[in-house]
Amino acid sequence: MGIWNRFSQKVVRGWNPVSALHETEAIDRIFWAHWVPTDDDVTRESTSATYSFYLGTVLAVLFSILCLTGLMQMLHYVPSVDRAYWSVKDLQFIIPFGWFIRGLHRTSAYLMVIFAFLHMSRTFYTSAFKKGRKSNTNGWINWLTGILLLVLTPAMAYTGYILPWDQVGYWGATIGTNIMKSFPVIGDGMRQFVIGGTELSQDFLTRIYAVHVVVLPLLMTLFISYHFWRNKKDGGMACDDRMQQDEVARDRTSGSDKSGIDTVDTPPERPLMFMKRLLWVSLATAAFAVLLALLISFPLSAPANPVMAENPAKAPWFLLWMQELVASTTVTIGQYRINGGFVGGVVIPGLLLLSLALCPFFDNSPPEATGVWFHPSRLRQNIIFTAIALAIILLIFFTYFCRGPNWVFYWPWETWPHVH
Amino acid sequence: MKTIKRRDLLKMFSFIAVFGGIAGGAAYAFVKSLFPKVLYEPPKRFKVGAVYDYSDGPNFVAEHRMFVIKEGDKYHSLSSICTHLGCNVTFIKLSEPRTVTVRGKEIEEKWEFHCACHGSKFYGDGTPYTGPAPSPLPAYAMAISPDDQQLVIDKSREVDSNYRLTIQV
């Protein structure tokens, strides 16, 4: 027995299957695999790449990379308004491979925002949130947990964006905290609570730092763990639920019992195959993030200048759609003028999130639609969802390419005039 | 009907009183600690220099994000913080004066204030006329310091946009 095999048997697996049949016990026996859905209630389709695209796995891997690269950056970053910028500058230019660690952190953060959106879209298009017809499943709980994670992900990216205390971070924070301030009645108090005073200063940076490196990652870890656990308790992916229903329907029509061998419902012959797939997806994700980090550079802007914002001062790309909304949704009702910060920054995103959260309770498509990509009975829901998703994506592109100095519209091919 | 013994009820109340009180007190302390008693921030009332430091028109006082506007012997101040989402507005001198109607009153303006962040524009008196800014740039009370005759701005006292401090030199 080679050294690797011996190491693997003693330390990694702790147990060595002797046959394919024996491998079905792998999930329960191997510590590293115990969180994977067991072969008792997971079908082959549930582990198929074309059903889920392993988007959740990709996200978990990206989060792990973020934790690791974040930890590495914490060793160099100084959360002080006087030194934060210069410590990030040192990280970028002085610390060996600091540029890579920072680049990988940013790339992974941006990929995480993209993949969280894709993951949510996948769940919507397959109406996986409907899962719950089986007596022991609660798909809607995982959908709501997913929405929490969908909010936490850009929240982490946004708080991280502020930390270098450069121009984009400082003005991003100014705009973000003023959106909070635009909240009627309690806005001022909320802003003061968040920034620890009335102006962005050391207290605010310290709080954002604590939130970014402790509070949000802990919440993410908690909810990701719960998300996984819930999925396992719910018996894997939503397509399983549909299959079981198909089976019940078949039994009802044919009157047959469950003694016949059903090729679809046969447990995977080799559950470790699933583990291997997870490993491959993880490695591919990490490799992709590393490649992007090598190819894309993330320059620092100038140090924060509280007197002069960059012109145009643009939010991080994933918040550009909200920036366009806050810039164009100030409304006048009678003698009152309602700040676009509140309409575009709180009301519209809040309503979108609320609609998402209510999906499982108002989607009246038949059970057959559960776990099926683009089921015909959900045409209307899918069209509305796609329209909103496209509108958000288009707004991001529009704001990125068509908003120039002083927030004036320019065609993407037009040159912006030089301002301050 | 389910009954509860007096002893159990008292036990439950005692439990809630003791541990609920401790938990509630701790939660209150945690939240309260996030609101500092003292803010080490620039004072709301501050000196901005002698009157002869200022030339006619808006003068930007970067340290306080304020404009001190001099019109002959009349002075007033406007905040440079955009009322939309807190960016800094910049002062734009018009090539030639123009007459605009603000709240039904015709005024001649020689300058405007523009915000780079989301395109809000304000007339010379701070009234927004285009873009997302929902309200005028705030004007603050001014005074002359009795000790060294410097101009003083009091950001804790917002005043009407017609407010002017007249100083006979």
pLDDT tens, residue by residue, B2-54: 888 999 999 999 999 999 999 999 999 999 998 888 888 888 999 998 888 88
- Which helix (H) or strand (E) is B11 found in, with range? helix B6-15
Would you call B87 and A182 a contact, using CB atoms and an 8 Å cutoff?
no
Q: CA of A91, closest CA in chain B: separation in Å?
A: 29
Chain B residues bordering chain A (beta-carbon distance below 8 Å): 34-36, 39-42, 62, 65, 83-88, 90, 114-119, 131-135
Average pLDDT over residues A322-347: 91
Split at pLDDT 50, 70, 90, the class of B80 is: very high
Q: Which of A192-206, A258-272, A288-302, B147-161 has the lowest mean pLDDT?
A: A258-272
Q: Which residues of B touch A408 (CB under 8 A)?
A: 119
Domain map (residue ranges) of chain A: 35-238+270-318
Give chain B's mean pLDDT. 90
Structure tokens at A299: 């320059």
pLDDT of A282 higher than 80: yes
The alpha-carbon gap from B82 to the nearest alpha carbon of chain A, in Å, equals 10
**Residue A299 pLDDT level (bands cut at 50, 70, 90):** confident
Q: Within an 8 Å CB–CB cutoff, is residue A182 touching chain B? A: yes
**In the prediction, which pLDDT does A216 show?**
97
Residue from A200, A338, A339 whose CB has the most chain B CBs within 10 Å, to mutate = A339
Q: Rounded to the nearest 5 degrees, what angle is found at the Cα of A160, between the Cα atoms of A167 and A402? A: 55
pLDDT band for position A258 (cuts 50, 70, 90): very low
Does A411 or A335 have the greater pLDDT score? A411
| Residue B122, H or E segment | strand B121-122
Residues in chain A with CB shorter than 8 Å from the CB of B62 are 307
At A205, list the tokens: 């940076």
Residue A217 has pLDDT above 50, yes or no: yes
Closest CA to A201 of A84, A87, A309: A84
- What's at A233, amino acid-wise? K
Architecture of domain A35-238+270-318: Up-down Bundle (1.20)
Max mean pLDDT among A15-19, A217-221, A233-237 falls in: A217-221
**What is the structure's pLDDT at B26?**
96
pLDDT value at residue A401: 94
pLDDT tens, position by position, A390-416: 999 999 999 999 999 889 899 999 988
Q: Of A178, A198, A308, which has the smallest distance from its Cβ to B88's Cβ? A: A308
pLDDT at A260: 37
pTM (whole model) above 0.80? yes
- Kindly provide the ipTM of the predicted complex, given to two decimals: 0.86
* pLDDT exceeds 70 at position A130: yes
pLDDT of A250 higher than 70: no
Q: Which residues of B touch A201 (CB under 8 A)?
A: 40-41
Q: Which residue, among A29, A306, A331, A10, has the nearest Cα to A169 in the 3D structure?
A: A306
Q: Chain A partners of B118 at a C-beta cutoff of 8 Å?
A: 323, 326-327, 340, 407
Name the residue facing B116 among A192, A198, A309 (closest C-beta).
A309
Q: Quote the CA–CA distance of A133 and A140 in Å, as a whole number.
A: 11
CB A315 within 8 A of CB A175: yes
pLDDT tens digit sequence for A136-181: 667 889 999 999 999 999 999 999 999 999 999 999 999 999 999 9
> Is the per-residue pLDDT at B169 higher than 70?
no
Look up residue B101 and give its two tokens: 């109607």
Residue contact B132–A339, C-beta within 8 A: yes
Q: Would the CB atoms of B132 and A408 count as touching at under 8 Å?
A: no
Cα distance from A230 to chain B (closest Cα, Å)? 30
Written as six digits, the tokens of B133 are: 């800014």
- The alpha-carbon gap from B117 to the nearest alpha carbon of chain A, in Å, equals 5
Residue B21, SS3 per DSSP: helix
Q: Which of A182, A193, A323 faces B35 most closely, judged by CB atoms?
A: A193
Query: Which residue on chain B is closest to A408 by alpha carbon?
Result: B119
Q: Please, are residues B68 and B58 in contact by the beta-carbon 8 Å criterion?
A: yes
Q: What is the pLDDT of residues B128-140, one digit of tens each?
A: 998 899 999 999 9
> In angstroms, rounded to a whole number, what is the distance separating the alpha carbons of residues A265 and A279?
24
Lowest mean pLDDT among A5-14, A234-243, A286-295, B46-55: A234-243
Whether pLDDT at A41 is above 90: no
Chain A, window 302-361: residues with a beta carbon less than 8 angstroms from a chain B beta carbon: 306-313, 323, 326-330, 337-341
Residue of A325, A331, A406, A419 best to disrupt the B interface, most CBs of B under 10 A: A406
Which residue of A171, A326, A420 is in closest CB contact with B132? A326
